[in-house]
A = this chain, B = another copy of it.
Amino acid sequence: MAQRPMREVILDEATELFARFGYGGTSLNHIAAGVGIKRPSLLHHFPSKDALYGEVFERMLSDWLERVEATMKSPGRGWERFSAVLVSGFELFCENPSYVRLMRREAIEGGERLGIDLVGVVAPFFEAAVNWLEEEVVAGHFRKVDARQVLVTAYATLLGYVSDAPFLNGLLVDDALAPEMLLARRDHLLDMFRRTLVADPDPSLTSLGA
């Protein structure tokens, strides 16, 4: 046993429950019971439910932005770089399904609870990606595409598969988050975006696996 600090244990449990049942559907009793303490003891570590939710959300954002910034610095141009970022983002999402579901819930409801401005945090990265894509189009590395549309599609496909995994588990028979399913999903998305972005019709020259 690693004996993690109780604060972290509570944050983990809260993240999981907020992601599964939403803010209104999760009670402090529920969270406290999940980590084996009583509600007042939980409120000893966090001043209120709102504050706990806020910390859960800020931790998720800082976790992600750290990794996203690292990925954005990756070298390469054109498809090579786009696919690398896509794969990295896909892996990031798959490793943190609770984060993805939490994010999706916020996106559905508008995204600014408790003063946390989700759009304000994400927008700079989104705009940077738009600029890069548009430059690559001008440079002739990509077909003439609407950068924003492509990125919204990437967002929807990456988030969608993970956030809706409980539903897709029913449709696709197997465990949607099993490694072989994830690989198949990843390759399909790569193929789709390559066909959308790259003018060169020869897959062997541009695919990741070549």
Contact = CB atoms under 8 A, between A and B. Distances in A.
Contacts of A122: 171
Given A109-B21, A196-B195, A152 B123 contact: no
Contacts of A168: 107, 152
A160 B164 CA distance: 11
Given A23-B25, A153-B188, A163 B108 contact: yes
Nearest to A118: B167
What is the count of identical protomers in the complex? 2
Contacts of A157: 153, 156-157, 160
Contacts of A20: 109
Interface string A170-196: 111000000000001100110110011
A184 B24 contact: no
Contacts of A163: 104, 107-108
A4 to B, nearest CB: 27
Interface of A: 20-26, 101, 104-111, 118-120, 122-123, 126, 145-146, 148-150, 152-153, 155-157, 159-161, 163-164, 166-168, 170-172, 184-185, 188-189, 191-192, 195-196, 201
The 3 closest A-B pairs by CB, nearest first: A24-B25, A156-B160, A119-B170
27 contacts: A104-B164, A105-B105, A106-B167, A107-B164, A107-B167, A110-B166, A111-B166, A111-B170, A119-B170, A120-B170, A126-B171, A148-B172, A149-B185, A149-B188, A152-B160, A152-B161, A152-B168, A152-B171, A152-B172, A153-B157, A153-B188, A153-B192, A156-B157, A156-B164, A192-B192, A192-B195, A195-B195
